[in-house]
A and B are shown apart, each in its own frame.
Chain A
């Protein structure tokens, strides 16, 4: 897809699409028929792509505009369906993985499709007419974005084999209909685009960019938070009456919890209450440590030296301590993200429910996920004795999610060393000379290898960026033997034993990756992007 090419004339969302049509039409203007076929192909992909952002409300309005093309195209669609040869050829075209193969193998398919063009011509023309008029009044970007999409697909679709079953859901479908609509059988109707050409972000870039970001809704969010703050006395009253509180809704609620703790503390400033705050999203938080902290809050310095290793033991100790101290003031336990992965397990929730049911424990929990209620059955709900409040804050989950890592794992990119370039550099500084030299050799070898493979990639898509290097960094590796040989040549490691010891150090810090290739030999790689590798290498050479 060429949609990322800069367009000089228009900044509309729609621009890429239209531009594509024109370019395709443009560069083959000698033959009218051939571009048409090609046009259909691209349209199909476009149509799919377009389906994604189409907003249903607008889509409805738009269907009224291109009345002509839709009516005209109907007969041709019907004819099309009858011609199985054509259908097959169309399928061949759609199943192509890459545009590069385009001219080669499927001439026949194109030729079959060409027959249809005589009939299809008028609709196409008209469609383009509509296109132009709509784009001419490009007052509203979003509208224009949609408008060309719909007629285009309408005209282009009839060529497709699946024309009958893949229109964008029109109008307001009820939720269940929408579900079945979007889950119909058949091959996935998505484009073959990949993220290869899109520069992904590293941790540093992500945080750097985010720190510059100015939130357009900042004021409204503050207002919303202010509304929630006004409920503090109400929550306090609910606590007072023996209820526990659960806050749900979209957005991080840590700040709100912190403010509530402040408020509680100041509201009872004469005898400040004990408040224990739990951050559920902390990676390896244990229930036992939560209970132990509450015990500390209750007993102060009288905590027995041995608490017991099982959370249940600590909980029972806590309960007996609370029972025996009749003058004990209630303990406020504020749990951020009670549905965080580490607390989510049924065992943990059962223990927390028992904690919540303990007299003199006031529990306030926040939940972030939409389906958190599924964690609790009726007896747990009974023990928790929650009152629920919608506390939508729209605050991003910055500390809760490891954003970059999550996204990369979602799209199948290998998760990279969290520290990135700086982390590796830091570790290297603390390692002996030998190890640093070994890493230098490793990086140099890898970089020279990727350089070789890089050029061919570059030719292919014409816009090689960092993405290629990164991909290559993951793909390419150096064979264990080869690296050992190089290392011994440079007098870094005198024996394989020593060499392995050095490598182990790298392994421990996740600075290298190792895998077996098909022949069974060990391949070593570095989990860094090309730029990062170059940067580290530079530092190593300079120091």
Chain B
């Protein structure tokens, strides 16, 4: 095997030119010369604690315990959140199919679709369908990844009960009928028997040896194992070649008396479109039922709520990231897994790169050296703001102490950190409360928790139209509904003494008022009266307040008090998180590593590198302007010349322009062949990037095929 001789074929620069090989360190270990000091440091850390992949921050001055503590923090926090995601999804979404990381979830929480599909699989047989192949048509829509989860679970069920199994087929597995059959047979047998079992069934067989694509193999297997349901799932059935699908289905239907096939077709467009691609004769061979998987967005909302609004949350992701996350989920159809991964990456980034994330630990070791840490805290923008606020409020002494005394600062920081975390929790409590209020039937505009959270994280929720809507609705509530409304308010509001007063007054009022009709405030539209007057032959409508009974006037007062209480409560709770001291520690809101890491723009990167190479290469000379010069890499020069051209480029002229750049720089001693070599290299790179292609229209012309910025 070629991989066993890796050192055979190396280029002078030490790179191996084989197609694929197992890495062995070169004897000389070239890299050692590169940066020995750095390597040693890393190695030391690694040998101390084998499992900690973090590196010391703060210019490398962070000590090993802190680094490790940071890592443990991350692991601890994320595993808790991860578990929460699973549970929240399972509990809150009884019928939602896409259960994240199924293997971790207790098997008894079931989803509707899975149940109905497996019921379908069990109950149908060719007999019930007059000899047609039973087929389950599953439309997945944008929720692509859910189908594979469904299939995995279905397979687990069928194999554990010994009824059969699921063979998942992708369009890539089916280039032609023979290979497709071979893949089906192999997958079906290895599913329960393993690879050896497949080999055995292929070789140890009485009679003539069968070829790999002979369905006799499968029928033997079915007979031997007593399989009653063999599900053949085509995950992306639209991507299959229709003629292949036709052949396959007719073949399956003719073997149906020996092998109990059930087809499961994953459809991402619509059943009608799928049907339209197949001939009628094929359609008549299958008969089945239609299932629909639901969209992913709902699930994403619930996961987000579980992560952010949990009562014991310690760390939050900010508004920018939330925005990006939901934008991706709604626009690009990111799968729920992708959503979780992105959040995970946000957590990873925070703990990997922020030395202060150490402070999030439940308990810090007493002997933790924190001089560097305090220095870092003093450099925070939020520390600066905090100090300024202190100065404004006239306590310069405290500021002095914060700046001078490490111990004091450390202590204060921890305290403020806890306070800040509590504020964040309160914010999300109120978000949840507002969300609950919105659920009440009187409010037409519904917003999801995520929308509210985005507003809250930006500090804009208390002034938003959503909250105004709630207030106007509350004011119009009658006394019965108002009491219901009190029930959904969070404890922190209802526990307040002023609020208790209001509540007492209300119940007092209600006791004196013993009518079947509930009390209404003056804001209720039933109390407004439309007057009609005729002025100069025109009808004039004017609204006015009807005269209110005395109790209603009292009630109105109470409603007004409720509103002002709520208003002040929200204004107090819904602060802008960025205004909190040490928000850098418990709030992660940098859009950039995340956005670029999950939604890269490689074309932009390449175009930028070529059109403005000094964005990447730190130039030593002063002329870093947009000018083309020989200081730039050759490909960048050629690319910039290419940008100026029309759709058709004369290579000769391109070459002359390219040469002119070098000629102007080097003067007479410019080596034309050397420039030509560079030109060759640059042109071949542009070709490899798909920016130029040969043109037959004119001799020595190439066609331009990429426009910058498009």
Which residues of A line the B interface, CB within 8 A?
3, 11-13, 16, 48-49, 51-58, 141-142, 145, 168, 174-176, 178-179, 182-183, 188-191, 193-195, 198-201, 205-206, 209-210, 212-213, 215-217, 219-221, 223-224, 226, 229, 233-234, 236-238, 240-241, 243, 246, 248-251, 254-255, 258-259, 261-263, 265-270, 272, 274-279, 282, 284-285, 289-290, 292-293, 296-297, 303, 310, 312-313, 316-317, 320, 334, 346-347, 350-351, 367-373, 378-379, 381-382, 385, 387-390, 392, 394, 396-404, 406-407, 409-412
Q: A176-B710, A248-B602 are in contact. Are A399 and B15 (CB under 8 A)?
A: yes
On whether A141 and B646 interact (CB within 8 A), knowing A194-B700, A369-B688, the answer reads no
The answer to whether B31 touches A241, judged by C-beta atoms less than 8 angstroms apart, is: no
B613 contact set on A, CB distance < 8 A: 217, 394
Choose one: A194, A296, A310, A387; the contact of B597 (CB below 8 Å). Answer: A387
B352 within 8 A of A: yes
Which residues B567-624 have CB closer than 8 A to chain A? Answer: 596-598, 600, 602-603, 605-607, 609-610, 613, 616-620
Pick the contact of A410: B19, B602, B687 (CB < 8 A): B687
Among A220, A254, A259, A372, find the residue whose CB has the most chain B CB atoms closer than 10 A.
Answer: A220
Q: Is B667's beta carbon under 8 Å from chain A?
A: yes
Given contacts A220-B618, A282-B17, A401-B684, 12 further A-B contacts (CB under 8 A): A145-B664, A168-B644, A198-B652, A209-B677, A270-B47, A276-B23, A378-B333, A379-B236, A388-B598, A389-B597, A394-B633, A410-B651
B32 to chain A, nearest CB (A): 8
Contact residues in B for A56 (Cβ distance below 8 Å): 644
A191 engages B650 (CB within 8 Å) = yes
- 15 A-B contact pairs sorted by A residue (CB < 8 Å): A142-B661, A142-B664, A188-B648, A206-B680, A213-B677, A224-B617, A233-B55, A237-B53, A262-B25, A350-B170, A368-B688, A370-B602, A378-B335, A403-B681, A410-B692
Q: Does B210 contact A (CB under 8 A)?
A: no
Q: How far is B607's CA from A55's CA once the two chains are assembled, in angstroms?
A: 16
- What distance in Å separates the Cβ of A282 from its nearest Cβ neighbour in chain B? 4
- List chain A residues, Cβ under 8 A from B709: 174-175, 178
**Given known contacts A217-B617, A351-B172, A371-B690, is B635 in contact with A265 (CB within 8 Å)?**
no
Report the bound CA distance from A182 to B647 in whole Å: 6
CA distance A312 to B167 in the complex (A): 14
B386, CB-defined interface residue at 8 Å = no
Q: Identify the closest chain B residue to A385 (Cβ).
A: B341
Please state if B628 and A175 are interface contacts (CB–CB under 8 Å). no
Measured in the bound complex, the distance between the Cα atoms of B43 and A206 in whole Å is 43
Q: What residues of B have a CB within 8 angstroms of the CB of A292 in the complex?
A: 1, 3
Task: Determine whether the beta carbon of B609 is less than 8 Å from that of A277.
Answer: no
B630 to chain A, nearest CB (A): 7
Provide the bound-state CA to CA distance between A400 and B685, in Å: 10
Q: Is the CB of B53 within 8 A of A57?
A: no
**CB closest residue in chain A, given B621:** A216
Given A209-B673, A382-B337 in contact, is the A371-B39 Cβ separation under 8 Å? no
Instruction: Let me know if B20 and A285 touch, CB within 8 A.
Output: yes
Can you name the residue of chain A whose Cβ is closest to the Cβ of B656?
Answer: A3
Report A-chain residues with C-beta under 8 Å of the C-beta of B655: 195, 198
The bracket for how many chain B residues form the interface is 35 or more
The answer, among B20, B680, B710, for a CB contact under 8 Å with A278, is: B20
User: How long is the Cα–Cα vector from A275 to B23 in the complex, in angstroms?
Assistant: 5
- With A11-B667, A55-B626: A182-B699 Cβ-Cβ less than 8 Å: no
Q: Which residue of B lies closest to A307 (CB)?
A: B1
Is the CB of B254 closer than 8 A to any CB of chain A? no
B664 and chain A: residue at smallest CB distance: A141
Q: A249-B609, A290-B20, A411-B651 are in contact. Are A378 and B676 (CB under 8 A)?
A: no
CA distance A409 to B688 in the complex (A): 12
Contact residues in B for A54 (Cβ distance below 8 Å) = 644
Q: Is the CB of A223 within 8 A of B618?
A: yes
Give residues 667-710 of B contacting A (CB, 8 Å): 667-668, 671-674, 676-678, 680-681, 683-685, 687-694, 697-702, 704, 706-710
Which residues from 48 to 77 on chain B have a C-beta closer than 8 Å to any C-beta of chain A?
A: 50, 53-55
Chain A residues with Cβ below 8 Å from B382 are none
Contact between A55 and B644, CB atoms less than 8 A apart: yes
The count of A-to-B residue pairs whose CB atoms sit within 8 angstroms is 377
B486 within 8 Å of A (CB atoms): no
CB pair B688 A194 closer than 8 Å? no
Min Cβ gap A445→B in Å is: 28
A142 touches B629 (CB 8 A): yes
Tell me if B664 and A13 are in contact (CB < 8 A). Answer: yes
Determine how close the nearest CB of chain B comes to the CB of A396; give it in whole angstroms. 6
B194 interface residue, CB < 8 Å from A? yes
Most buried by A among B2, B651, B680: B680
Q: Across the interface, which residues of B come within 8 angstroms of A219, CB to CB? A: 620
A249, B684: Cβ atoms under 8 Å?
no
User: What residue in chain B is nearest A144 (Cβ atoms)?
Assistant: B664
Q: Check if B3 sits within 8 Å of A370, measured CB to CB.
A: no
Known: A373-B600, A378-B332. A55 touches B19 (CB 8 A): no
B635 and A396 form a contact (CB under 8 A):
yes
| C-alpha gap A261/B22 in the complex (Å) | 11
Give the complex CA separation of A276 and B31 in angstroms: 18
Is A258 touching B699 in the complex (CB atoms < 8 A)? no
B694 adjacent to A409 (CB under 8 Å): yes
Residue of B whose beta carbon sits closest to that of A238? B348
Q: Is B42 an interface residue (CB 8 A)?
A: yes
Residue B183 lies at the interface, judged by CB distance under 8 Å to chain A:
yes
Asked if B43 contacts A370 (CB within 8 A), the reply is no
The distance in angstroms between the C-alpha atoms of A195 and B170, with both chains bound, is 49
Q: For A400, list chain B residues within 8 Å (CB).
A: 688
Residues of A within 8 A of B257 (CB): none
The reply to whether A276 and B680 form a contact with Cβ atoms under 8 Å apart is: no
For residue B653, CB closer than 8 A to chain A, the reply is yes
Chain B residues with CB below 8 A from A402, complex form: 684
4 closest Cβ pairs, A-B complex = A175-B709, A220-B617, A53-B657, A275-B23
Contact B42 A350 (CB under 8 A): no
- Report B84-107 CB contacts with A as 1/0, cut-off 8 Å: 000000000000000000000000
A234, B688: Cβ atoms under 8 Å?
no
Decide if B702 touches A411 in the complex (CB within 8 Å). yes
The reply to whether A220 and B172 form a contact with Cβ atoms under 8 Å apart is no
Contact of B694 with A410 in the complex, beta carbons under 8 Å: yes
**With A213-B674, A312-B183 in contact, is A190–B597 under 8 Å at CB?**
no
Nearest-neighbour CB distance to chain A for B599, whole angstroms, equals 8
Which listed residue (B3, B144, B618) contacts A293, Cβ 8 A?
A: B3
Q: Which residues of chain A are within 8 angstroms of B617 by Cβ–Cβ distance?
A: 217, 220-221, 223-224, 394
CB pair B345 A212 closer than 8 Å: no
CB < 8 Å neighbour of A53 from B641, B665, B690: B641
A276 contacts across to B, CB distance below 8 A:
3, 20-23
Contacts of A205 in B (CB 8 A): 673, 677
A296 to B24, CA, bound (A): 14
Q: Which of B3, B626, B673 contacts A296 (CB 8 A)?
A: B3
**Nearest-neighbor residue (CB-CB) of A141 within chain B:** B664
Contact: A13 with B341, CB < 8 Å? Answer: no
Bound: A388/B595 CA distance, A? 10
- A388–B55 CB distance below 8 A: no
B198 → A minimal CB distance (Å):
9
Nearest residue in A to B75 (C-beta to C-beta)? A241
Interface residue? B338 (CB, 8 A): yes
Question: Is the pair B684, A406 in contact by a Cβ cutoff of 8 Å?
Answer: yes
- Which of A12, A243, A275, A313 interacts with B22 by CB under 8 Å? A275
Q: Tell me how far the C-beta of A213 lies from the nearest C-beta in chain B, rounded to whole angstroms.
A: 6
Whether a CB of chain A sits under 8 angstroms from the CB of B663 is yes
- Which residue on B lies nearest to A255, using beta carbons? B15
Nearest A residue to B706 by beta-carbon distance? A370
Q: Which of A12, A209, A350 contacts B674 (CB 8 A)?
A: A209
Of B19, B333, B610, B699, most A-chain CB atoms within 10 Å: B19
CB <8 Å contact, B674 and A183: no
- Say yes or no: is B186 at the interface (Cβ < 8 Å to chain A): yes
Q: Do A237 and B631 touch across chains, with their CB atoms under 8 A apart?
A: no
Set of chain B residues within 8 Å of A293, measured between Cβ atoms: 1-3, 20-22
In the bound complex, do residue A190 and residue B665 qualify as a contact, i.e. CB atoms below 8 Å apart? no
